[in-house]
Amino acid sequence: MKMERTRLLKKEIEKKPDGKPAFSYFRFYKLYDGDTADVPRLRAESVASLLENVPPHIYENDLIVGSVRGVLASPDDSVSGACEELCGKIGERTFLTGVDHFAPHYRMMLSRGIPGIFADLDASERAHASDANRVKYIGEMRRVWTGFSEMVRSYAEKAESLIDTAGYDEGRLRAIASRCRALLEHAPEHFDEALQFVWFCHIAFQLEGRYAMALGRIDRYLLPFYLKDTEEGNLTSDGAREMLENVFMKIYERRAFFGGDDVVNICIGGTALDGSCDVNPLSYDVLHAVGGCGIPGPNLSARMMKDTPVEFYDECLKVIGTGLGYPAMMNDEVNLPALLSYGYDEEDVADYCMVGCIETVLPGKQWPWGDGRFGTPRFLEPIFNHGHGIMSDGFNVDTGDVSDIVSMEDFMKKFEIQLASGVEYYVKHTCERSVCENEADKTSPMLSLCCPECIERGIDINLGGTKYPSSHGVCLMGVGTTADSLAAIEKTVFVDHTLTLSQIGEAIKADFVGMEDVRALLKSAPKYGNNDDFADKYAVWFVDFLTREFRKYHMPDGGNFYTAMAANTANIYSGLGTAATPDGRRAGEPLSDAASPTYGVDVNGVTSTVLSLTKPDYSVVACGSVVNQKFMPDAFADGNREKLASLLRVYFARGGQEMQINATSPEVLTDAMEHPEKYGSLVVRVSGFSAHYVTLDRRIQNDILHRTQQRI
């Protein structure tokens, strides 16, 4: 019955709820007619009221409770209208101004618990008694923490009220009630209490309407509780996995209730501060729990290092081989030095995790994450067009007539001028959008409670309370398209002399219509992904030059611009606005995906692809990268997994930063596109996340289908 409970819980979640989402209604449950003169106080009161008043929901198959189902209530229209008006009046932060995509400092929070955090707030208030502003922020945090504690109490009372209700197990209900009441009295002491506490925090964020909140290094901060309980005979591996599955399955509520998946990133494995491997028994239980749920979320990330056990690779590949595409595998040998290069303390860097897709963050030490996309190939257009784009125009530079360029070195100098101008524009635009109107009013007391420095300093997370300032990730797109284009120019113009730059310029303006011979020559040039330095050297340049350019700049609060080699699915949509490129790509076609070679041109086998992928220096890419690879299902069979694991170990040893893998055959993907009714549960890795294949836009489906199918 144990693991069967996960399947039964999924069925409960999928039962269509009554009503509609009413976040705004509950956010200002008691205060819709309140005075907006003191917006931070109003915000704290309303969040606390939200937590206190959303009806708790307990499923029949719940072990660890906490659900957003309670917000699905039909609001009183007269009340909700006033709430909507007030919400619009005081506003909210956005992705770029720090609203979510955040990793709480769960280790600190578990060590303190509900009473301990109240005590820390009291101590901070005494320390800052002479600073009225800080005392005010502390008071707002305390009000929200009071609301949180009342939410915990409401679940204890709900569990007790359900005793003798048909379908519910009395023993489980009493255990739930006891666990919730224990959390009100002291910091978590057992594994079930610690997991329950963390899940209540996550539910609080969801009730606030926050998205992609990371659970972080769950196998590290829950490990002391796990070891204590297993050593004392109070917990087994199966029992821990069952509770974890029970929690992870409720991430599915977002899809069942509101549509779409919540990209909740969970991190396992990694490197300890002393340099040893952090993989432990709980790492395996988390991995198997994610596999057991079989849903697109949570977004599981595995930190790999030089001493990661072969057994852990094998178990990761078994889960990936189910088709989920989880976990994505991250390389500590690259990510640790990349983060350390920004001056962060070694202890904080050792604790890094991922948020959202693959973005690296320091839990509880930085304000919420923000990023954007930088479509590099479009900056080729103005070189051929006197500073103007072909399909779009803007912040470009007239570098003269292309016929005056006499060497590849000269061409690269002009390309770098275009890119530097684009970087400057991107930074200026991002800095302008990262500062919100009436910033001091847009406080986030619940997030602040998750940062030790915010409590200690008495300052809100978005107003300078965190240990480190903000960081912004620039997702660089089109390394394959760019490298292939530059290699084609060098080969046809400056080596073989079969084309001129003017001919290439005319061809891309014409989208190769009537100039197929030019396109054929360009497409025959060396391509990135085949272990050919002629093309690969431009991928090396791409990572180095753009990272150096962005590191020249800072956010308004002094924070850093990180670079990432990532696109999510934006390479498809960016391609729609990008003219034809000198690699032979036609206008409107997708750019190459993230750090991967252009799909279909890496034709020399996966070993050559891996050798190309590891030539750029990713130890300067602090945000992370995405390399999508697709293998035939038989690569995950006994006897072949060992070969795939060996390939991955070589890839990481040579400096690869990340790899994520699809394990679905092209025949299945094609059939799913033609007969979606047969494949409702088919999950694939898209880019930095997984999703049900049949729910994806046809362009994204085609992008996945056309990825190079590798074999072992």
Rounded to two decimals, the pTM is 0.94
Angle at 43 (CA atoms; ends 42, 46), nearest 5 degrees: 80
Note the pLDDT of residue 45: 87
Q: Which two tokens stand for residue 652?
A: 């990481």
pLDDT digits (tens, 9 = 90+) for 592-641: 999 999 999 999 999 999 999 999 999 999 999 999 999 999 999 999 99
Strand partners, 360: 354
Res. 77 pLDDT band, cuts 50 70 90: low
Segment among 12-26, 108-122, 521-535, 626-640 with least mean pLDDT: 12-26
Listed residue (598, 621, 624) closest to 707, CA to CA: 598
Distance CA 192, CA 176 (A): 9
Res. 92 pLDDT band, cuts 50 70 90: confident
Note the pLDDT of residue 24: 46
DSSP state at residue 104: -
pLDDT digits (tens, 9 = 90+) for 254-284: 888 877 778 899 999 999 999 999 999 999 9
For residue 157, how many C-alpha atoms fall within 13 Å in the half-sphere facing its CB? Answer: 9
Note the pLDDT of residue 255: 83
Rounded CA Rg of the chain: 26
Note the pLDDT of residue 72: 73
Distance CA 120, CA 142 (A): 10
Strand partners, 216: 266
Q: Which helix or strand (DSSP H or E) is residue 647 part of?
A: helix 641-653
Res. 53 pLDDT band, cuts 50 70 90: confident
Is pLDDT above 90 for 218? yes
Distance CA 380, CA 454 (A): 45
* Cβ–Cβ under 8 Å, residues 440 and 107: no
Peptide bond into 368 cis (omega under 30): no
Strand partners, 659: 329
The string of DSSP codes covering 573-584 is: HHHHTS---TTS
The SS3 assignment for 560 reads strand
Is pLDDT above 60 for 22? no
pLDDT digits (tens, 9 = 90+) for 397-420: 999 999 999 999 999 999 999 999
Q: Which helix or strand (DSSP H or E) is residue 21 part of?
A: none
The SS3 assignment for 304 reads strand
Res. 424 pLDDT band, cuts 50 70 90: very high
Distance CA 222, CA 533 (A): 46
Res. 707 pLDDT band, cuts 50 70 90: confident
Note the pLDDT of residue 122: 98
Angle at 311 (CA atoms; ends 307, 313), nearest 5 degrees: 75
Percent of the chain residues past pLDDT 70, beyond the cut: 95
Is pLDDT above 50 for 103? yes
pLDDT digits (tens, 9 = 90+) for 574-587: 999 999 999 999 99
Res. 437 pLDDT band, cuts 50 70 90: confident
Residue carrying structure tokens 């530059």: 486
In the chain, the amino acid numbered 483 is A
**Chain centroid to CA 316:** 19
Note the pLDDT of residue 76: 56
Distance CA 244, CA 224 (A): 16
Torsion angles phi and psi, residue 560, rounded to 5:
-95, 150
The full 3-state SS of 149-172, as one line of letters, equals HHHHHHHHHHHHHCCCCCCCCHHH
* Cβ–Cβ under 8 Å, residues 261 and 689: yes
Angle at 294 (CA atoms; ends 289, 297), nearest 5 degrees: 85
Strand partners, 299: 265
What torsion do the CA atoms of 548, 390, 700, 245 make, to the nearest 10 degrees? 30
Res. 26 pLDDT band, cuts 50 70 90: very low
Torsion angles phi and psi, residue 477, rounded to 5:
-115, 145
